[in-house]
Structure 1
């Protein structure tokens, strides 16, 4: 890796672990890239407020490139917006783009195709590093601390959202749920990491139960790997500074 690498940053544990591994290998990132809802100013899928993302970038000491996605954006338009923003980064010297994906082959292929079109090399620092049960414990042991901010109602009840991502959480996971949530079962927000200059002082806000309408056609299905369609209910834990 070189200092022209930008990491796609969701704000969650996998992104933080990927960044940590890159830095432990002696590399220096140019910055992080995050997609947010333009309407709600929250990280896409995670529901985390923009100011908490800003706090992470400040703690990392890295430039942050935000990509604002409009409501009801289809996959074709989403791809175009991501590609346009990555092309801008290339004009200022970006050569590589990193991702925190673990084992979903079709998602990796999708990212590679998208970055190839932008003439950017892809980097997957934690790709199949270990089975996800082992990797989950490595994330915790690394000193990364995270709160679970979103869970799928297909797999969890609301009691799981807002919990610390720790060994107790892993031990309580329902059968069939990936320990890293790689299939989209849950998402997290990192409030402390070995790569942060200081912890982020967060407060728990309200828990929100949201229902979503499934995508109507194959083109608009999310590139989520194992699942052919959206889950329709999610529980979100709001966080505040």
Structure 2
């Protein structure tokens, strides 16, 4: 019996990676692609600021074709919704019936997704919903998931947290009141290894940039990895 075809809403971060891990373990859906919004101005994953080349390497390691939603910077909400709507309609034409999200507990975000997908033919799925985040963060680390903090909200964390690894030491160092999964927007991550990948990504931390109230750590694939990928596509 064939399983329903699904897309994973892929942010490049740990929550979407762990949601994919849980869905693959359950074997309820056939995940056939990764949907990501990419800011055209910077050619980076929206909000996370992760380079497109790392996003591409992530999807290759996860065995997922990319479905990119290009958006401008800044992006008016009507433009975002139009372009996302076009992408959803294309997915429906391809026989996709579900979309998987890594949301944890923000009810307004979940309601927005449910409302926007209502009547489209796509059903949203939230495999991590309402799981206690302290235990969830530890479970992510224990399963072998490795990630860097790519973006930090400076209203909630010092800039020095950008570029740090998402590990047990980070959890111990987070100030009181900061969600260990960053679900309130305290930080966003970039996954470089884990059970959903066929291999770890050789990523290094680069320059830290402050912009619009956020600290971004520029993560880069090592030169040897970039050369190897270029040779592979010749």
Per the alignment, residue 4 of structure 1 pairs with 5
Per the alignment, residue 204 of structure 1 pairs with 205
Per the alignment, residue 97 of structure 1 pairs with 99
Instruction: Write out per-residue CA displacement over residues 172-204 of structure 1, whole angstroms, 9 at most, x where no aligned residue.
Output: 111211111111110000000111111000121
* Aligned mates of 2:18, 2:190 — CA distance in 1: 12
Per the alignment, residue 151 of structure 2 pairs with 150
Instruction: Write out per-residue CA displacement over residues 145-185 of structure 1, whole angstroms, 9 at most, x where no aligned residue.
Output: 00011101001112111111011101111121111111111
Per the alignment, residue 33 of structure 2 pairs with 31
1:28 CA drift (Å): 2.8
- Do structure 1's residue 190 and structure 2's residue 170 form an aligned pair? no
Structure 1: 4+ residue segments shifted above 2 A: none
Per the alignment, residue 234 of structure 1 pairs with 214
User: What is the CA RMSD across the aligned residues, in angstroms?
Assistant: 1.2
* Aligned mates of 1:87, 1:131 — CA distance in 2: 34
Instruction: Choose the corresponding residue for 1:59, options 58, 61, 74.
Output: 61
Per the alignment, residue 120 of structure 1 pairs with 122
- Do structure 1's residue 134 and structure 2's residue 120 form an aligned pair? no
Greater mean deviation of Cα atoms: 41-50 or 150-159: 150-159
1:36 CA drift (Å): 0.6
The alignment's TM-score, normalised by the length of structure 1, stands at 0.88
User: How many residues of Structure 1 are paired with residues of Structure 2 in the alignment?
Assistant: 219
Instruction: Choose the corresponding residue for 1:48, options 44, 47, 50.
Output: 50
* Aligned mates of 2:145, 2:162 — CA distance in 1: 18
* Aligned mates of 2:119, 2:70 — CA distance in 1: 20
1:2 CA drift (Å): 3.2
Per the alignment, residue 109 of structure 2 pairs with 107
1:121 CA drift (Å): 0.7
1:83 CA drift (Å): 1.1
Per the alignment, residue 87 of structure 1 pairs with 89
Secondary structure in 1 aligned to 2:177?
A: coil
* Aligned mates of 2:42, 2:97 — CA distance in 1: 31
| Alignment gaps of 5+ in structure 1 | 212-232
* Aligned mates of 1:235, 1:117 — CA distance in 2: 38
1:3 CA drift (Å): 4.5
* Aligned mates of 1:95, 1:154 — CA distance in 2: 39
